[in-house]
């Protein structure tokens, strides 16, 4: 019987779990997924934390202590989330050591309400890095226009970064440049840049959700035939851009100093349309030096019935560009799609963060 996730790992795709909870940690579930499902990293976001906190009693003792200390809701959120990330980082530390710091990473997001303000984002990133105090952590910073300088500044402090909420190729180019500049500044600041790492989280399924909604509204056979194609094409062109940026003297100079590549990470890889194969955002984005972060159902679906077809990215670039040209002729603007998605992405994370704070506030009052 083929171990699909092992084959995926051998193909150069690091399998990460897009979920974290204290229940998953204390039951040993994460260790099981590392051992049996080749999980090599964990990502989190405000939605995931809000969901975890609303279930079970895993957080009761800590919340009781926080209530006794009369901490603010925001400080309680910081302490609760950082505790989970620290625990997960320790569970994944062997993977981090065995991979030379490439994998074994756990991500913690800066308060998404700061996404459009660089100065507090930088300050919060530094605080979270100090608080968790684990070398295998990533600080997640959204790739908004204001987030770009914050990414550079945080990297310059020697802090590893997961750049999140990337939708457009243009913004992704700016993210790669921000990574290069951050490493250059880190080196100038005396940091060993071989110890700094980064991933660039390109959101996948949401692109199809937005584009397909517009294709459905057009409703012609030509339009409907393009459903379920834009997201994968967008990610494939992102990988082309990644390769182009690595083939520059600027990167070669950084690599000579020991810099790690900023791997593309495929996020939002569960299918939202039930008519699509549930593994399509995994098997159609197989290429070396990438990460695919999956919710557990997608992870298990891939292991159960995913069919790998080798490298499914190289050789697709012209076809992917042609797809977007067709969308433009139908009146679907790429620039408008990615702008809508970024604005929605920030708003959704803000809403989830407010939900998390509301849940914590309620729990603190019950335990006080």
Active site residue 126: no
Measure the CA–CA gap between 7 and 248, rounded to whole angstroms: 31
Both tokens assigned to 68: 């006794």
Measure the CA–CA gap between 205 and 231, rounded to whole angstroms: 6
Token pair 């800590």 is found at 62
Both tokens assigned to 357: 């704070």
Angle among Cα 109, 114, 115 to the nearest 5 degrees reads 75
DSSP 233-272: HHHHHHHHHHHHHHTSHHHHHHHHTTPPP-EEEEE--S-S
Token pair 């459009």 is found at 116
Go through the chain and tell me how many residues it has.
368
- Answer for the pair 327, 50: CB distance below 8 angstroms, yes or no: no
Count CB neighbours of 367 within 10 A.
16
Cβ-in-10-Å burial (0-12, 13-18, 19+) of 62 comes to middle
**Catalytic: which of 64, 140, 195, 227?**
140
| 267, β-bridge pairs | 203
| Region for residue 79 given its phi and psi (left: phi exceeds 0; alpha: psi -120 to 50; beta: otherwise) | alpha
Measure the CA–CA gap between 38 and 13, rounded to whole angstroms: 11
- Answer for the pair 144, 163: CB distance below 8 angstroms, yes or no: no
Q: How many CA atoms lie within 13 Å of 93's alpha carbon, on the beta-carbon side?
A: 9
Active site residue ranges: 140
């Amino acid at each position: 019987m083929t171990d699909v996730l092992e084959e995926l790992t051998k193909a150069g795709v690091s399998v990460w779990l897009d979920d974290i909870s204290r229940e998953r940690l204390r039951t040993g579930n994460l260790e099981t997924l590392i051992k049996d499902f080749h999980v090599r990293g964990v990502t989190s976001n405000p939605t995931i934390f809000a969901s975890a906190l609303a279930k079970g009693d895993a957080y009761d003792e800590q919340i009781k202590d926080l209530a006794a200390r009369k901490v603010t809701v925001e400080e309680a959120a910081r302490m609760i989330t950082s505790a989970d990330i620290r625990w997960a980082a320790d569970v994944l530390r062997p993977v981090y050591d065995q991979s030379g710091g490439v994998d074994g990473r756990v991500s913690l997001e800066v308060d998404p309400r700061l996404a459009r303000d660089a100065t507090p984002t930088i300050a919060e990133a530094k605080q979270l890095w100090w608080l968790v105090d684990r070398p295998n952590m990533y600080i997640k910073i959204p790739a908004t226009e204001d987030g770009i300088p914050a990414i550079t500044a945080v990297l310059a402090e020697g802090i590893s970064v997961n750049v999140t909420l990337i939708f457009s190729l243009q913004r992704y180019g700016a993210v790669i440049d921000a990574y290069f500049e951050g490493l250059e500044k880190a080196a100038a600041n005396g940091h060993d840049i071989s110890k700094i790492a980064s991933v660039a989280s390109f959101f996948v399924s949401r692109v199809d959700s937005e584009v397909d909604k517009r294709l459905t509204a057009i409703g012609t056979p030509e339009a409907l035939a393009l459903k379920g194609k834009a997201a994968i094409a967008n990610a494939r062109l992102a990988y082309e851009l990644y390769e182009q940026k690595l083939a520059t003297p600027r990167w070669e100079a950084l690599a000579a100093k020991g810099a790690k590549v900023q791997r593309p990470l495929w996020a939002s890889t569960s299918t939202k349309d039930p008519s699509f194969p549930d593994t399509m955002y995994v098997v159609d984005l197989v290429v070396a030096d990438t990460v695919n972060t999956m919710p557990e159902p997608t992870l298990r679906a891939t292991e159960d019935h995913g069919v790998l077809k080798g490298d499914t990215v190289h050789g697709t670039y012209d076809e992917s560009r042609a797809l977007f040209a067709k969308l433009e002729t139908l009146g679907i603007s790429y620039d408008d799609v990615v702008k809508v998605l970024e604005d929605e992405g920030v708003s959704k994370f803000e809403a989830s963060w407010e939900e998390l704070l509301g849940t914590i506030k309620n729990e603190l009052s019950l335990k006080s």
